[in-house]
Amino acid sequence: MTPLLLGSDIYRGSSYGTWHPLRVPRVSTVLDLTRAMGWLPASQFRTSPRAKPAALSVWHTPAYLAALQHAEVSGAVDEDARARHGLGTVSNPVFPEMFRRPATGAGASLLAGELLRDGGRIHNPGGGTHHGMPDRANGFCYLNDAVLGILSLKRAGAVRVAYVDIDAHHMDGVEYAFADDPDTLLISTHEEKRWPFTGLIGDAGVGQTFNLPLPRGLNDSEMALARDRLMLPAVEHFAPDAIVLQCGADAVDEDPLSRLALSNNAHWDLLAALMQLASRFLLLGGGGYNPWSVGRLWSGNWAVLSGQDIPDRLPPEAEAVLRDLRFDGNSRGRNPPEHWFTTLRDAPHIGPVRTEVSDRVTYLAGRIVDMPGLSV
């Protein structure tokens, strides 16, 4: 199957609020930028469907889904909905598309599982909402499309699914769903001592969960070590039928909500290697709160997934997309560096590999051979 990108115009102009980190354009930038590059012909684009409550209820509770829909329609939540379901909070506020927008991201991941039945590669940049819980919103995530996508892949015949998450924040919702499932490999690299403060290195599920907390300042060399000694060997040993990669853009140096220091090369190098390891591959978005770093990284993701060459200098049409972005309310938006407009690829962030990183990678790599085998 030709690689597909699933997207929607619901993201265009939708915002969690003028003060919220998700006030910035993300998916709309990817669509505009990839089209400006000539990388997204109509034949490789599908409009994401909006998932209905019946489809979402394979993991989310009917009571929560009803409360989420009611909050969107009424534009408000009562104290019971706030306390029980985490709606109307600072992290998960009431906003006009608070059901329809996440239901669109979830619909894309559900559809992707079906479309990948016979193999292929799909990019859902509106996905990656890995914090959502069955009965409550959590960490900017109202639904958990990653969980729903994995379940969809399994219904379509993928017995063993490898889920790899390189967001700056731990995959708490996905681990909650699959920590006890020996046929779902879970790998998370995330900044240590950062919300949600889960994902300790000793949290191993039933032996198939690998949590790698990483120190602030993480560089490309350290990520390459984790990739080559832990992530790729674990996935190869697991031999999955399908791979899901959550590719949050908040682990790059310019993001305001983490203190990791990767370049986007680290994400693209991992993507290029991982997508060779299974016939079914689903690529998700995730965190990322600097509009330039998100748009550049996820557009480059599509280039890697669909076999496009990333030029050293963007053509004028693509440059115009990036020059039109704004980052109001953040110092990074006052005087953006020129390369945020003219290139997709960051300069590599090469550096020393700290002992604390190599020791943690070595410890987790030693567990690979003890992973549970195929369930029968």
Residue 212's DSSP bridge partners are: 189
For residue 264, give the amino acid letter.
N
- Helices 291-306 and 264-274, axial angle in degrees (round to 10): 30
Longest dimension (CA), the chain: 58
Residue with tokens 């195929």: 374
Q: Hey, is 107 helix, strand or coil?
A: helix
User: Is-catalytic flag, 131?
Assistant: yes
| Count of beta carbons in the 10 Å neighbourhood of residue 362 | 12
Write down the catalytic residue from 85, 131, 169, 349. 131
Q: Hey, is 121 helix, strand or coil?
A: strand
Whose CA is closest to 142, among 94, 189, 73? 94
Is 2 buried (19+), middle (13-18) or exposed (0-12) by CB count in 10 A?
Answer: exposed
For residue 17, give the amino acid letter.
G
Whose CA is closest to 182, among 372, 46, 352, 351? 372
Please check whether residue 164 is in contact with residue 145, taking contact to mean a CB–CB distance below 8 angstroms.
no
What is the rounded CA–CA span in Å between residue 161 and residue 347? Answer: 33
Q: Hey, is 79 helix, strand or coil?
A: helix
What is the rounded CA–CA span in Å between residue 333 and residue 326? Answer: 6
Residue 211's DSSP bridge partners are: 188
Residues carrying an active site annotation: 131
